[in-house]
Amino acid sequence: MILIFTLASHPFQDSKAQTSKKTTPAMLNHIAVYVTDLEKSTDFYKNTFEFNQIPEPFHDGKHTWFSLGAAGQLHLIKGAKGKGNFDKNEHLCFSVPSIEPFIEKLKIQNIAYENWAGAAQSITLRVDGIKQIYFQDPDGHWLEVNDDHK
């Protein structure tokens, strides 16, 4: 008798779990980067990544906002006291259709890049075939660019 009750009640428990209300996960709204020279950083992100600048509500000369498409926004905020000594593990990553033309743009802009191990002007080839490079913005924040095609 106990075995029959356990088998009979099991499907009910599964359907109850499936009908419970699911919550919506949080979504990224923006990434804020603290910078020393807003004009220099704005030019860097605009020219390097070709981000579209969008209106910001403060109009105080201390903010630049860029659209990152469906991913959200990038906010540059003036006020950092100096260039940081950031660890490469803490970085922003952006994907491009092909890494080689992006590297050519970096060379034209005289921006040094490296692979994960730190070898200058080198590309990391991940085990899944994705190519990636690392470089720093004017304040020392690490940036990764890869050719991930998800």
Digit-coded pLDDT (tens) for 25-34: 999 999 999 9
How far is residue 143's CA from residue 93's CA, in Å, rounded to a whole number?
6
Residue 42 near residue 76, CB atoms below 8 Å: yes
Cα separation, 7 vs 11, whole angstroms: 8
User: What pLDDT, on a 0 to 100 scale, did the predictor assign at position 20?
Assistant: 74
The pLDDT score that the predictor gives to residue 3 is 45
Q: Give the tens place of pLDDT for each residue, 44-88.
A: 999 999 999 999 999 999 999 999 999 999 999 999 999 999 999
Q: How far apart are CA 112 and CA 106, in angstroms?
A: 7
* Mean pLDDT confidence for 89-98: 97
d(CA 132, CA 150): 14
